[in-house]
Amino acid sequence: MILSLAPMEGITGHVFRWAHADCFSALDRYYTPFLAPPRVGKPFTNKGLREVDPASNEGLNVVPQLLTRSADEFVWAARLLADMGYAEVNLNLGCPSGTVVSKGKGSGFLRDLDGLEAFLADVCERSPLPVSVKTRLGLESPDEYERILELYCRMPLAELIVHPRVQRDGYDGKPRREFYGETLERVPFPVAYNGDVFSSEDMGELLAAYPGTRHVMLGRGVLMNPTLPREIAGGAPLAMEELSRFHDDLYAAYVAEMGGNAVFRMKEWWSYAKHSFADPAAVWRLIRKAKKAGDYEAAVVRVFRELA
Ligand SMILES: Cc1cc2nc3c(=O)[nH]c(=O)nc-3n(C[C@H](O)[C@H](O)[C@H](O)COP(=O)(O)O)c2cc1C
């Protein structure tokens, strides 16, 4: 069974991947949060470069994810990534954000199936790296998925990762797992499942329903409980000292990367990590108000002293 970490823009970038792998064991695979490919002929720069720089990902199995509807830019980025030593490139067809969808990218690309078919046929032919896709079921209704799935079946994809919600769902409601089951039965290439696996019980239910599962991508579950992959493998539950050490490593790494902005990054993490505590609302009350590093650090001391 392959366990991977989901791409989560603003959270599971290279700093998080490293801190997590350093404190716990590395997952089998990681996906970068979505990156816009550089213009053809230009290199990756700034944030994109920091994310894909091989030095940022040494020792980890990382698949870069691209968000684009330009085949030329996708292929160009795949060439750069191949030169850096990556073995696969992933296309984001799931992002539900309004600004992304309105540009016809992410799940917005699922509205234009003729355009998507031409794009995928072209990039699969020209990309020097195998191309995998992370998809939703459609925009408005899962009825859209039949045509989308037929399209994927015609493409030589390296893998299809299914988050079985539509764009309109956001992250609400239950994932429509039956569509993952159908995908498993029908596509001629490997399939991965993603969505709402928050505990080893959730994983058990998924595997009981779909025993053919070979790859599960974990997202918010790892943010809420960093030892979820270990627990799924039958290991010990999270100890508060582990969470405290992980927090300190993650915070120190963000401070080194971005100085004072580290507090904002950490607050985003706490919006999930608070669920490792008996009283998440009390944790959030302490963390939420902190703006400066000193206030934040004092709040964290109180959280672990008073609420752990
Ligand atoms: C804050 C946030 C950022 C995300 N960023 C990305 C992204 O960059 N690329 C992507 O394919 N999915 C992104 N996702 C979706 C996740 O990869 C995943 O599909 C989703 O969280 C459902 O899985 P989970 O229930 O295990 O969390 C993001 C989700 C969240 C909550």
Task: Find out whether the beta carbon of 257 lies less than 6 Å from any atom of ligand 1.
Answer: no
Half-sphere exposure of 23 (CA within 13 A, CB side): 26
Task: Find out whether the beta carbon of 138 lies less than 6 Å from any atom of ligand 1.
Answer: no
Pocket test residue of 62, 159, 162, 163 for ligand 1, highest count of atoms within 8 A of CB: 163
Q: What is the pLDDT of residues 38-77, one digit of tens each?
A: 999 999 999 999 999 999 999 999 999 999 999 999 999 9
How distant is the alpha carbon of residue 209 from its chain centre? 23
Task: Find out whether the beta carbon of 7 lies less than 6 Å from any atom of ligand 1.
Answer: yes
C-alpha angle 162-31-4 in degrees, rounded to nearest 5: 70
Task: Find out whether the beta carbon of 63 lies less than 6 Å from any atom of ligand 1.
Answer: no
> Which pLDDT band, with edges at 50, 70 and 90, does 183 fall under?
very high
Dist. CA 299 → ligand 1 center (Å): 28
Task: Find out whether the beta carbon of 229 lies less than 6 Å from any atom of ligand 1.
Answer: no
Tell me which residue of 94, 17, 11, 72 sits closest to 80, measured CA to CA: 72
Rounded Cα–Cα distance for residues 8 and 85 (Å): 22
Question: Residue 32's pLDDT is what?
Answer: 98
Question: Residue 278's pLDDT is what?
Answer: 96
> Which pLDDT band, with edges at 50, 70 and 90, does 281 fall under?
very high
Task: Find out whether the beta carbon of 64 lies less than 6 Å from any atom of ligand 1.
Answer: no
End-to-end CA distance of the chain: 33
Tell me which residue of 282, 288, 280, 283 sits closest to 263, measured CA to CA: 288
Pocket test residue of 5, 9, 267 for ligand 1, highest count of atoms within 8 A of CB: 9
Q: Are 80 and 48 in contact (CB under 8 A)?
A: no
Question: Residue 217's pLDDT is what?
Answer: 98
H/E element holding 294? Answer: helix 293-302
Half-sphere exposure of 87 (CA within 13 A, CB side): 8
Residue with the smallest CA separation from ligand 1 atom 21 is: 219
Q: Coil, strand, or helix at residue 148?
A: helix
Tell me which residue of 29, 118, 44 sits closest to 78, measured CA to CA: 44
- Count of other CB atoms within 10 angstroms of residue 280: 17
What is the dotted CATH code of the domain comprising 2-232? Answer: 3.20.20.70
- pLDDT of 265 > 90? The answer is yes
Task: Find out whether the beta carbon of 136 lies less than 6 Å from any atom of ligand 1.
Answer: no
Residue with the smallest CA separation from ligand 1 atom 2 is: 8
Q: What is the pLDDT of residues 126-142, one digit of tens each?
A: 999 999 999 999 999 99
Mean pLDDT (the chain) is: 97
Task: Find out whether the beta carbon of 13 lies less than 6 Å from any atom of ligand 1.
Answer: no
**Averaged over 268-286, what is the pLDDT?**
97
Question: Residue 107's pLDDT is what?
Answer: 98
**Structural domain boundaries in the chain:** 2-232, 240-307
- pLDDT of 260 > 90? The answer is no
